[in-house]
Amino acid sequence: MPFPPERPTATFPYQVEARIGEGAMGVVYRAVEPVLERRVAIKSLRLQLLAGEAPEVLREYRLRFLQEARAVAALSHPGATTLFRIGEEEGTPYIAMEWLDGRTLEAVLQEEGKLAPERAAGLLLDLLGTLDAAHRAGIVHRDVKPANVLLTADGSALLTDFGLAKGSAYTVLTRRGQVLGTVDYLAPEIIRGEPATPASDLYGLGCVVYDCLAGKPPFAGKGLLELGLAQLEEEPQPPCEGSLGWAVLQALEKDPARRPPTAVAYASMLRVALREQT
C-alpha cells in the first residue's frame, strides 16, 4: 500500500486531507488526527525518488530525516513547531508536527515585494529569538531562507524545516564536496566547505532581512558560480539607508568572527538601529 494510507491505521493514526508541498527530500501533507480532533502537518521522506540510489545513500537520507525530528523535538520555543510523532508506514519514515496556518515569507515577498522596515525588523526579531533557542540547544539550522520562514495569521514569524540542522550529538552527513543549503543565503565558510556554526545561521538571517528590505537577496541576478564567488568576495550594498541598513550588514561580514557574537546581540543591535531610524 502506498504512502500515505487512505485511512488511519494502528501505526499511522491520521486522515490525510491534502498534499500541500514538497522539497528535494520530503513531501508535506495536511492531515487530521481523528481521536484527538486536531490538525497536523505530516512530512514524509520521498523514498520513491531514491529507488535507484545505493544503500549508503538511502541510509544517509534516513539519518538526515531523523535528525530533523531530533532538532524539532529539542526546541521548546514559540517560534518553532511542536513535534507530535515520528514513525514509519509501509517503509516510509514520517514526522507528525503541529499544524500552523500561514504563508511562507518567500510567498509574501513574491506577492508584496519589499517590506516596510518596521515589519521586516519585527519578523527578524522573532526569528532571532528562535535561533537563539536553537543555538543554546546546540542546534545549527544551516538553511535559513524565506521559504523556511512561516508567517502566521497573527503576524508572527516561525522558523521551519530543520532538515539540514546539525547538532553536536548528530551524525555528520555531508559527503566530501557536497554543499547543503541555498546559495543566495549561504555563509561564505559553508561555501568553502567549513563546518556550519551559529554565525553561519546569522549570515543566512542577515540575507533574509536584506531580501525583506531591498526586495531581493544581496547578490541577486547572478549565475550560480558568480553567486558563490560574490558570497565569498564581494561586499554587499546596504539594503536601505540609515542605521538599519548598516546594522543588517553586520551579519554579512565574510569573517564569522566579525559578525555579532550571538543572536541576542544581533537583536539588540537591530533594536537600537530601528529606534534611531524612526
The string of pLDDT tens digits covering residues 99-111 is 888 888 999 999 9
What values do phi and psi take at 51, rounded to 5? -60, -30
The whole-angstrom separation of Cα 99 and Cα 160 is 12
Query: Which residue did the predictor score with more confidence, 48 or 42?
Result: 42
Q: Taking the domains of the chain in order of start, what are their residue ranges?
A: 15-98, 102-277
In CATH, the number for domain 102-277 is: 1.10.510.10
Same CATH fold assignment for domains 15-98 and 102-277: no
Mean of the per-residue pLDDT values for the chain? 83
Tell which phi-psi region holds residue 199, choosing left (phi > 0), alpha (psi between -120 and 50) or beta.
alpha
**Can you spell out the DSSP letters for 113-139?**
-SPPHHHHHHHHHHHHHHHHHHHHTTE
Is 143 a residue of the active site? yes
Q: Report the candidate in 239, 220, 103 with the shortest Cα–Cα distance to residue 160.
A: 103
The string of pLDDT tens digits covering residues 230-268 is 999 999 999 998 899 999 999 999 999 999 999 999 999
Q: Which CATH architecture has domain 15-98?
A: 2-Layer Sandwich (3.30)
**Does the pLDDT at position 193 exceed 60?**
yes
Looking at 101, 126, 132, 143, which residue is catalytic?
Answer: 143
Residue 249 has what pLDDT?
A: 96
Cell match 513574491: residue?
Answer: 110
* Cβ partners under 8 Å of residue 138, min gap 6: 74, 167, 168, 169
